[in-house]
């Protein structure tokens, strides 16, 4: 059975740049997705690109660990 890792991201984690979401099972790490402050998550699977927002589950192709990414930004007022 595979392990599950959860990642909670808050507004202080990074600035207005893209952040690499990786699995650290190997060196170099396995890239799972790239996300930014707006909550946009970009995933590349083979020759396709997918866009998600705010929450994503991904399974590492090397170790089989299931990762969960939750991006919570404070509501705009």
pTM over 0.75: no
Contacts of 59 (CB under 8 A, 6+ apart): 2, 65, 66, 67
pLDDT along the chain (77 residues), means of 10: 58 65 94 90 92 91 94 63
pLDDT at 14: 45
């Amino acid at each position: 059975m595979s392990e599950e890792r959860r990642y909670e991201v808050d507004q202080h984690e990074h600035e207005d740049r893209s952040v690499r979401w990786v699995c650290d099972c190997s060196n170099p790490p396995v890239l799972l997705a790239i996300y930014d402050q707006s909550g946009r998550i970009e995933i590349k699977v083979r020759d396709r690109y997918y866009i998600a927002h705010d929450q994503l589950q991904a399974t590492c192709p090397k170790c089989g660990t299931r990762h969960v990414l939750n991006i919570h930004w404070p509501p705009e007022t």
